[in-house]
C-alpha cells in the first residue's frame, strides 16, 4: 500500500462512506471544487474520515471533515499520515 492516498482512492472512499459515486477523472478535474458541489455533505465527510481511521487503526490527528476541497483534504491527510502507513 502506498504511503499516500490518491484521488482514485478518495473516489472509492466517497462511494463507500458517503454513498455518492464520483468518477476519479471528475475528481481530478474538480479537485479544487468544494465537496458540497460534488454532493458530499458533512455526514459524508465524517464517514470518509471514519473509514480512513478504521483503515489505519488510529484516530487521525487532523480535522479532515472541515476540508472544503478534495485537494485540501488529500494534502492535509497525506501530510498527517506516518511514513509507512
Residues 40-70: tens digit of each pLDDT: 999 999 999 999 999 988 888 788 988 999 9
* Residues in contact with 10: Cβ distance below 8 Å, sequence separation at least 6, in sequence order: 27, 48, 70, 73, 74
Which phi and psi angles does 66 have, rounded to 5°? -95, -5
User: Which pTM does this prediction carry?
Assistant: 0.87
pLDDT at 1: 45
Contact 14/22 with Cβ under 8 angstroms?
yes
Longest Cα–Cα distance of the chain, Å, equals 33
DSSP summary character for residue 37? G
Amino acid at each position: 500500500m502506498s504511503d499516500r492516498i490518491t484521488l482514485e482512492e478518495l473516489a472509492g472512499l466517497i462511494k463507500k462512506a458517503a454513498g455518492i459515486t464520483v468518477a476519479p477523472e471528475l475528481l481530478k478535474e474538480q479537485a479544487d471544487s468544494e465537496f458540497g458541489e460534488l454532493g458530499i455533505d458533512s455526514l459524508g465527510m465524517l464517514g470518509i474520515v471514519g473509514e480512513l481511521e478504521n483503515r489505519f487503526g488510529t484516530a487521525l490527528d487532523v480535522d479532515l471533515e472541515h476540508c472544503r476541497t478534495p485537494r485540501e483534504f488529500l494534502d492535509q491527510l497525506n501530510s498527517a499520515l506516518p511514513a509507512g502507513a
